Chains A and B, each alone.
Chain A
Amino acid sequence: MALTTRKTSGAAGPEAPGGSRAARPSGGSGAPVRSGVLAALSGARRSLIGLLLLLALLAGLLAWGAGTDRTGWGPKLALDLEGGTQMILSPSLQGEDAGQQITSEQLNQAVEIIRQRVDGSGVAEAEIATQSGSNIVVSMPGVPSAQTRELIQTSAEMNFRPVLTSGPAAAVPEDQRTPEDELPEPTAEPADSSDPNWITPELYQEFEATDCTVPLPPEEREAQPADEPVVACEPETGTKYLVGPVEIQGTGIADASYGTAQNSQGASLNQFAVNIQFGPEATDRFRQLSERLYGIGQSSQGDPRSQFAILLDGQVVSAPSMNAVIADGQAQITGSFTEDQARFLAEQLKYGALPVSFSIQSEQQISATLGSDQLRMGIIAGIIGLVLVCVYSLFQYRLLGLVTISSLVVAGVLTWLAITLLGWSANYRLSLAGVAGLIVAIGQTADSFIVYFERIRDEIRSGRSVPAAVDHGWRRARQTVLASKAVNLLAAAVLYFVAVGNVRGFAFTLGLTAIADLLVVFLFTHPVMVLLTRTRYFGGGGKHSGLSPEALDAVPLYRGAGRLREPGAEHDGLTIAERRRRAAQAGTEAGTPPGTPADTPAGGPGTAPAGAPVGASPSTDRTPEENA
């Protein structure tokens, strides 16, 4: 193929000064060419060293991680290979808000709550994640008990309870507990929810014995009757509370937000505050509550009974003290919040306003033996496929096939390292669909080499020497490989971002292997080809090298008597009819040089002299020394 002097893209231009590999090794001699060859060689060596460093870095990282037991040598496996249960839950809002859209904050809150519940129930290594903004995926090893299933599905409730008493998180040591005869004894029926008469001796003993430094098991958190006092923990501050019956349900919250606090003059204070807006009914109840608690706070300073606790899913998320009577339903919680804490609390309150429950959309239980069977078969299929590809490459490209095989090996090692390291750092898990993606990638990776080798062969057929053919073939192949891999990467990215479930795992491996492929072609395959052309065997187009000019039916450039055939031209790729047409044309156009239109504005140094006979004009992209 003739390369015209028109630069279709910067990368393709043979004179591109930026390209370190844009040197021009050829059969010719002369200082500029030699330095070009040397530049190409040093570029090739640099690329290989770069690749080696990259591999060494990744392998070193993995060795360090595996050596210090932070990760394993192999990729983490997804559920379908390792065995276990995967549930996909879709959220639904309760009560009058049913049918409303769920915001991503609510979903994140829900994930947080489910995570706490599952952790609390003692299931190890459960993974909970949101999927495409509307579903929650819970994966865990083994088969979950009926209790765990229920825990995952039920909605978490928020409510407001007045504090009766509080203490540090840890259980009071047995020998320091209040003796039985000194326990508080109710003297009358409790008058309101803040009444200390709620505290029975049994309840107080429970309060002292409760250890809030470990998460309470979910069944204990669930046993919180609304009309009775309960013991609750606030893990955030490490405080234990004894709280009265429920005063206000979370659903009474109309909205919650956070921002910087303001003083009574409206000037901004340098601290964050969380604002709660109650609905009409709750406003009234909150006014009554605030009157009572504010009164307690005024009469006895620092009494925990002036505090109210906000409980979400049985845990206290905040327990502010009442500093004013709030009649308009607009409460503001201040304290030493960081911005993140304030936002988190506001999100929790919003969640409390619209509690979400879940229904199981899909559940998959895979036994560990079946998973490992599938993995083994997948690996066997991959090895068979790889061997077949190797055999075919050797058959098609002879010794050049070895370059394909070693490139595939390098791509394989790179992909393995990437997947294993991603499993460690980003918790990426290889699924069966991912294994399929990897096996499919063998073919697509090998295609890059095929495109490249076919290009080189085309150039040899056109009469270039092997080193020149490698150089020229690379420039065109590079462009084709980049363009086609862009399509692959695009497909992988779209699949990854749009799709759900195991489609994502597949898309991820496809994208990963496309990148690995590009790295290998640029940093391994091409540099190795450049180095190989320096050897006498490949450079001279040895018989079984896959680059033998005789076998490729090449037409030599030099035809004796100073006549040069144009190296770039496709030699006479015409049908019989076309040849006739052309012969007729040559006859009529004897005086009009057909080369004229080729003199592009960019006309390179080697532009054909006008009037050169067809098939004998030097290629427009070749510098004089190359033709010499």
Chain B
Amino acid sequence: MSRFADFGNALHSGRTSYPFVAKAKLWLTIAAVLVVLSALVPVAKGGFNLGIDFTGGSEFTVSAVPEADVATGERAVAESSDAAEAEVTNIAPETIRVRTEQLDDDETLAVKEALVSAYGVGEDDVTSNFVGPTWGAGVTSQALWGLVVFVVLATALMALYFRTWKMSVSAIAGMLATVAITAGVYSLVGFEVTPSAVIGFLTVLSYSLYDSVVVFDKVRENTEGLLEGTAPPERAGRTFSDQVNLAVNQTLVRSINTSVVGILPVGSILFIGWLVLGAGTLKDLSLALFVGIIVGTVATLFVASPLYALLRRSESAVRALEARVAAPGERAAEPAAAH
């Protein structure tokens, strides 16, 4: 069998073990730095590159252009409308995009016709799109609402399922770090923020929590009964953090496989969307997802899980267990404390 299976075997038995929990503070610091950097990227670049859905305006896309000359488009717009300025870009091979301030109906039709004749394409090759300035604000506030509702419900769901709010808090922290870093990368690449990208970010939220739930389920299993002293005997001599770390290591193969399987289809959309189509729903969505799946998986390992172990260490029962493990002689005298 493959070396990967050997790797899984070693992780399962504990022969190979990565210090996800032992170096918790290091990982959390790195994550915090990355989050801050991600917040600084859009600031340094002068804000996100917002699409017309958020800024308002008119947009025309001309496809199957035999000669993608930008000046042709600028002339066509100037001659057919009163638009103060037209931003004409060659966004992909054979594709021209024209952006103007918001035009009214008649002007939209006029510009469309002008573009058809200027580029010598068919009526069907020009699409137009205009968005009022308030539309994007509505979309954004709806998305934020969705975020708040989802976070509240997901926190409650996880707290109920795992019977501890500390897992909810850790998973949410991992999720927020994921979204912040994903947004930072998105801004760095300079892609436009479109409603599709917003969908992508919202999906990343869900994926990040999904991933944390899978790992935490194993954490819960490994730490079951540990503090109460009802754990199976082979767990004797293990601290709470040891068991959390073992769980993360044991699910590492799953985490890697899942993220690979997750990004393969997303990667192929990104590839096709970016290189072939040039712009649109597929590209924006898949970039957000591509980055988000990778960051989300990593954040579960390096943020959510270590944070959970740290949060639990503030409990007296967890510390008592650590003390017993460190000084085994006293153990017999002190049966399962706390709770």
Contacts and interface: CB of A to CB of B under 8 A. Distances in A.
Interface of A: 1-2, 4, 6, 8, 80, 83, 88, 90, 132, 146, 149, 359-370, 373-374, 377-378, 380-382, 384-386, 388-389, 392-393, 395-396, 398, 432-433, 435-436, 439-440, 442-444, 446-447, 450-451, 454, 457-458, 461, 476, 479-480, 483-484, 486-488, 490-492, 494-495, 498-503, 506, 510, 548, 551-553, 566, 568-575, 578, 581-582, 584-585, 588-589, 592, 594-595, 597-598, 600, 608, 614-615, 617, 619-620
B289 interface: yes
B93 interface: no
B14 A490 contact: no
A570 B246 contact: yes
Given A450-B258, A491-B206, A370 B61 contact: yes
B233 interface: yes
B234 A615 contact: yes
Contacts of B221: 1, 476
Interface stretch (B36-44, B70-78, B138-146, B301-309): B138-146
B231 A490 contact: no
A230 B17 CA distance: 88
B67 to A, nearest CB: 19
B149 A4 contact: no
Contact of B265 (A443, A491, A569, A581): A443
Contacts of B196: 433, 436, 502
B164 to A, nearest CB: 13
Contacts of B10: 553
A384 B268 contact: yes
A142 B253 CA distance: 51
Contacts of B220: 8
A614 to B, nearest CB: 6
B202 A491 contact: yes
A488 B325 contact: no
Contacts of B205: 491
Q: DSSP majority for the B interface?
A: helix
Interface stretch (B25-33, B83-91, B150-158): B150-158
Contacts of B266: 385, 439-440, 443
Contacts of B12: 457-458, 461, 570, 573
B262 A444 contact: yes
Contacts of B261: 389, 392-393, 442-443, 446-447, 450
B224 A381 contact: no
B337 to A, nearest CB: 12
B281 interface: yes
Contacts of A365: 112, 127-129
B178 interface: no
A461 B328 CA distance: 29
B15 to A, nearest CB: 8
Contact of B269 (A378, A476, A500): A378
B264 A392 contact: yes
Contacts of B329: 588
Interface string B234-277: 10111000100010011101100110111111111101110011
B135 A361 contact: yes
Nearest to B132: A361
Interface string B97-123: 000000001101100100000000011
Contacts of B338: none
A444 B210 contact: yes
A594 B236 CA distance: 7
Contact of A381 (B125, B250, B265): B265
Given A491-B209, A619-B232, 15 more contacts: A1-B222, A369-B122, A384-B265, A389-B264, A392-B257, A433-B285, A436-B286, A440-B289, A451-B254, A476-B217, A491-B150, A494-B153, A498-B142, A503-B195, A568-B232
A377 B328 contact: no
Given A370-B127, A510-B203, A569 B251 contact: no
A503 B268 CA distance: 21
B131 interface: yes
Among B124, B127, B142, B273, the most chain A Cβ lie within 10 Å of the Cβ of: B127
B86 to A, nearest CB: 18
Contact of A443 (B106, B251, B262): B262
A558 to B, nearest CB: 18
Contacts of A499: 142-143, 146, 199, 202
Among A8, A389, A443, A451, the most chain B Cβ lie within 10 Å of the Cβ of: A443
Given A365-B127, A392-B261, A500-B139, A595 B53 contact: no
A490 B150 contact: yes
B272 A380 contact: yes
B325 A581 contact: yes
Contacts of B316: none
Interface string B161-181: 100000000000000000000
Contacts of B198: 503
